[in-house]
Amino acid sequence: MSKTNPVAASSKAKAAEADAKDADTKAASAGKDAPNPEAFLSVRDLRIHFDTDDGLVRSVDGVSFDLETGKTLGIVGESGSGKSVTSLGILGLHRSKRARISGEVWLDGEELISADPDRVRQLRGEKMSMIFQDPLTAMHPYYTVGAQIVEAYRVHHPQASKKAARGVAVEMLDRVGIPQPDRRVDDYPHQFSGGMRQRAMIAMSLVNNPKLLIADEPTTALDVTVQAQILDLIRDLQKEFGSAVIIITHDLGVVAELSDDILVMYGGKCVEKGTSETIFTAPEHPYTWGLLGSMPRMDRELQDRLIPVKGSPPSLINLPKGCAFNPRCPYAELTGGKSTTETPQLIEVKPGHRVACHLPEEKRHSIFRDEIAPRL
Ligand X SMILES: Nc1ncnc2c1ncn2[C@@H]1O[C@H](COP(=O)(O)OP(=O)(O)OP(=O)(O)O)[C@@H](O)[C@H]1O
Give the binding site for ligand X (CB under 6 A). 50, 52, 57, 59, 77, 79-85, 250, 316
Q: Which is nearer to ligand X, 57 or 367 (CB)?
A: 57
Q: Which is nearer to ligand X, 150 or 215 (CB)?
A: 215
d(CA 286, CA 267): 14
Residue 290 Cβ vs ligand X, minimum distance, rounded to whole Å: 15
User: 130 Cβ partners below 8 Å, 6+ apart?
Assistant: 87, 91, 205, 213, 214, 215, 216
**Inter-axis angle of helices 145-156 and 117-126, nearest 10:** 120
d(CA 132, CA 124): 14
265/349 with CB nearer ligand X: 265
Q: Which is nearer to ligand X, 170 or 258 (CB)?
A: 258
Instruction: Return the SS3 of 275.
Output: strand
CA separation for the pair 235, 67 (Å, rounded): 16
How far, rounded to the nearest angstrom, does the alpha carbon of residue 223 sit from its chain's CA centroid? 23
| CA 367 vs CA 162, 289, 302, 362: distances in Å | 62, 10, 23, 9
Which amino acid, one-letter code, is at 264?
V
Q: Which is nearer to ligand X, 79 or 281 (CB)?
A: 79
Q: Minimal distance in Å, beta carbon 181 to ligand X? A: 31
Closest separation in Å from C-beta 209 to ligand X: 27
**Cα distances (Å, whole numbers) of residue 355 to 83, 121, 260, 329:** 18, 35, 17, 15
- Map residue 63 onto helix, strand or coil: strand
Report the 10 Å Cβ neighbour count for 98.
11
**Which of 85, 367 has the CB closer to ligand X?**
85
Least Cβ distance, residue 217 to ligand X (angstroms): 6
Long-range contacts of 365-368 (CB under 8 A, 24+ apart): 365/284, 367/286, 367/331, 368/282, 368/283, 368/284, 368/289
Tell the smallest beta-carbon distance from residue 55 to ligand X (Å): 10
Compare residues 66 and 217 and give the one whose CB is closer to ligand X.
217
Minimum CB separation of residue 248 from ligand X in Å reads: 7
Whichever of 88 and 372 has its CB closer to ligand X, that residue is 88
Contact yes or no for 264/255 (Cβ under 8 A): no
- Angle, CA 20 vertex, CA 14 and CA 26 arms, to 5°: 135
Please, what is the minimum distance in Å from the beta carbon of residue 316 to ligand X? 5
Smallest gap from residue 188 Cβ to ligand X (A): 27
